[in-house]
């Protein structure tokens, strides 16, 4: 995948860059000099990975970001101020840096941080699926629920970062969308929030065989594209919880597991029918949403009894 790298020793240029990429900010640097490096990788339209490295102390302020920044501090310190409160973070801390809808101020010193920017639209899709009624989905605290939860976020972030580093520049949206949803789903388990988790009476009523049939037909038709559980639920005109309950009740599985099997079957078909002189296992696996070669190979062998390279050679 393509990572955009920006580097400058000019404070005005750093301010302009941050304003263009994120939100208009004012950057004030102690001593008037410093450096900034930003490495940015987009995960589709609704998420990005951002490594900020500041060789300076600074204060800054700006309007609401419109996205949810979830950070991990590698070095330095930062104090984010909003709603009349100060939130201090240092090396090793994991936190939601800012709410998406608040003006803010920040004070930092030699900050080195890895920050995921998540679109609230993606958060709502992963948690509920459209449409949502009642309170707007939001995180209720900016710190993980436990130390174990913080480690879960770090492990997931490291997995995503390692994965994107190995993907080709022309990777399609299926993989990047899946990685963005993985980070979003992890955030919902790591940070306190007001997402609904238990099925309602309406969910239970709608979890009938017809819902499963519609969902299966949608998955089988669209497995080769970047679809999510929210898309499946929307196609069936029900909630995510309804689809999950229907699959458990009638198929003893989950919609995510069924989608993975459908994509594995698609990869199997391509391995059987593609010219081995022009194709690779890794390219076919990536096309069907399997970024990890060893994991794909193990899953494929467990399902079809042979490694994918065997099938590609048409042995």
Centre a 10 Å sphere on the Cβ of residue 135 and count the other Cβ atoms it contains. 8
Predicted confidence (pLDDT) at residue 30 exceeds the cutoff of 80: no
Percent of the chain topping pLDDT 70: 95
**Which pLDDT score is estimated for 176?**
87
Domain-terminating residue out of 119, 136, 161:
119
Instruction: Provide mean pLDDT across the span 262-273.
Output: 96
Domain-terminating residue out of 119, 147, 169:
119
The rounded distance, in Å, linking the Cα atoms of 261 and 255 is: 10
Instruction: Provide mean pLDDT across the span 196-216.
Output: 86
- Domain holding 275, by residue range, is 259-312
**Which pLDDT score is estimated for 130?**
47
Which tokens in the block code for residue 298?
A: 């193990």
| Inside any domain, residue 87 | yes
Torsion of CA 68, 260, 290, 6, to 10 degrees: -10
Domain-terminating residue out of 76, 100, 119:
119
| Inside any domain, residue 272 | yes
| Inside any domain, residue 89 | yes
- What does R_g of the chain's alpha carbons equal in angstroms? 22
88: domain CATH number is: 2.60.120.10
What is the largest distance, in Å, between two alpha-carbon atoms of the chain? Answer: 68
**Which pLDDT score is estimated for 251?**
94
Query: Among 23-32, 121-130, 185-194, where is mean pLDDT lowest?
Result: 121-130
The rounded distance, in Å, linking the Cα atoms of 53 and 111 is: 6
For residue 170, name the pLDDT band (cuts at 50, 70, 90): low
Output 243 or 168, whichever has higher pLDDT: 243
Helix axis angle, 147-166 to 173-190, nearest 10°: 170
Instruction: Provide mean pLDDT across the span 197-209.
Output: 82
The rounded distance, in Å, linking the Cα atoms of 110 and 118 is: 24
| Inside any domain, residue 217 | no
Query: Among 150-159, 173-182, 240-249, 252-261, where is mean pLDDT lowest?
Result: 173-182
**Which pLDDT score is estimated for 2?**
78
The rounded distance, in Å, linking the Cα atoms of 101 and 63 is: 8
Domain total in the chain? 2
The rounded distance, in Å, linking the Cα atoms of 25 and 165 is: 30
């Amino acid at each position: 995948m393509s990572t955009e790298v920006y580097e400058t020793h000019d404070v005005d240029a750093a301010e302009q860059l941050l304003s263009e990429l994120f939100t208009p900010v004012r950057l004030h640097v102690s001593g008037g000099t410093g450096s900034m490096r930003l490495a940015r990788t987009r995960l589709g339209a609704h998420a990005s990975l951002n490594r900020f490295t500041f060789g300076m102390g600074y204060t800054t302020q700006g309007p609401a970001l419109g996205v949810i920044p979830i950070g991990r501090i590698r070095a330095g310190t930062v104090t984010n101020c909003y709603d009349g409160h100060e939130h201090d973070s240092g090396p090793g801390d994991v936190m939601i840096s800012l709410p998406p809808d608040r003006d803010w101020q920040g004070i930092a010193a030699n900050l080195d941080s890895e920050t995921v920017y998540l679109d609230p639209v993606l958060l709502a899709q992963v948690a509920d699926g459209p449409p949502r009624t009642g309170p707007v989905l939001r995180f209720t605290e900016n710190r993980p629920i436990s130390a174990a939860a913080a480690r879960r976020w770090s492990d997931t972030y490291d997995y995503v970062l390692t994965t994107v580093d190995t993907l080709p520049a022309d990777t399609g949206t299926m993989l990047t969308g899946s990685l963005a949803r993985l980070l979003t789903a992890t955030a919902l388990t790591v940070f306190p929030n007001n997402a609904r988790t238990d099925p309602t009476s309406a969910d239970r009523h709608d979890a009938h065989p017809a819902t499963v049939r519609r969902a299966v037909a949608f998955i089988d038709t669209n497995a080769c594209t970047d679809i999510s559980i929210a898309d499946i639920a929307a196609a069936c005109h029900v909630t995510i919880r309804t689809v999950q309950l229907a699959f458990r009740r009638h198929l003893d599985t989950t919609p995510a597991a069924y989608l993975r099997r459908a994509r594995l079957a698609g990869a199997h078909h391509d391995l059987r029918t593609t010219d081995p002189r022009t194709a690779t296992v890794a390219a076919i696996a990536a096309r069907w949403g399997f970024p990890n070669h060893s994991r794909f190979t193990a899953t494929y062998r467990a399902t079809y009894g042979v490694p994918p390279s065997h099938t590609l050679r048409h042995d």
